[in-house]
Amino acid sequence: MKILEMDIVVDAIIYAQGLGITLLTVVVGKEMLFRYILQDSGDEVADPAKIIIRIAKSVAIIMSVPWIVTTIYKFGTTLAIDVAKLEGGGFGSPAGKGSLKDMLKAFSALQYLPLFILIMVVSIVILMFIIVIQASIRAAELAFLAVAGCFMAVSLMNPNSEMYSSWWRQLLALSLAQASQLLLIKIGFESLQTMFKGPEQALLGFCLFFGVLIVAIKVPTILKEHIHSTGTGKMSSSSGQQFSMMAVSRMVMKK
């Protein structure tokens, strides 16, 4: 969350909001011009109430993009904290009933596969490093989404546009990724508890941990595909628009 408090990010968001309002003004002007031309030629024109509603939604979201991004990501962080409190997923937990000494004994029993074990250990270290890097990348993506959202909101003037919905799905997937990856990592460490049950189980637990980390790396992509295919993102997008208008209304009332 600290990246959203950086001066350059704050200034970039404010600048993007100004450009978003300017772009919205141009779009509304074009809409009014086309409406005048159609009305003058006797053609049917869209209900002005619908146009006003779309303008209000666009303005509300442009002004509340930082609040939307912060709130949704904090929600994902709350989920991650709850996942971290789940039992298991650590050495010496009641489920494992083992210790680091027991794990080393299990490793020593696998001396007939030293090259395989070495490759697995190196691979797991690399995978864990990739997951840490992904967490850093999410911070950069969060800052970018906070800036880009100001432009995506202008697309709400076009009822057939999917730009804002796509932005919302991206934000939702980004916010849920941390909790999902943490859950898988805890499952992976829990699978290592089988190492305390003998050499055969040790090899199985090691392979399971490796497999779980592979899935953890793919989680962000899986979430995006799932949110897109199930329609969850579109449903949440409509709710986000309503929350944005409520937030702006409260800000105006306070002033």
Residue 11: what pLDDT? 92
Task: State residue 119's pLDDT score.
Answer: 72
Tokens of 202: 């040790």
Are 58 and 158 contacting, i.e. CB atoms less than 8 angstroms apart?
A: no
Q: At what angle do helices 48-84 and 7-40 cross, to 10 degrees?
A: 150
Output the pLDDT for position 113: 55
- 10-residue stretch averages of pLDDT, the chain, 255 residues long: 85 91 88 74 68 84 87 89 78 47 55 62 80 86 90 84 85 89 85 64 74 87 77 51 50 48
Contact assessment for residue 169 and residue 233, using Cβ atoms and an 8 Å cutoff: yes
- Judged on CB neighbours under 10 Å (0-12, 13-18, 19+), 100 is exposed
Contact status, residue 76 vs residue 178, Cβ threshold 8 Å: yes
Going 128 to 131 to 137 to 139, the CA torsion angle's sign is negative
pLDDT, residue 199, reads: 59
pLDDT at 94: 44
**pLDDT at residue 97, as a whole number:** 47
- Ordered by start, the domain boundaries in the chain are 2-254
What is the reported pLDDT for 144? 92
Q: What is the pTM of this model?
A: 0.72
What is the C-alpha to C-alpha distance for residues 140 and 151, in angstroms, rounded to an integer?
Answer: 18
Phi first, then psi: what are they for 129, rounded to 5°?
-65, -40
Distance CA 182, CA 162 (A): 31
Asked whether 53 and 244 are in contact (CB, 8 A), the reply is: no
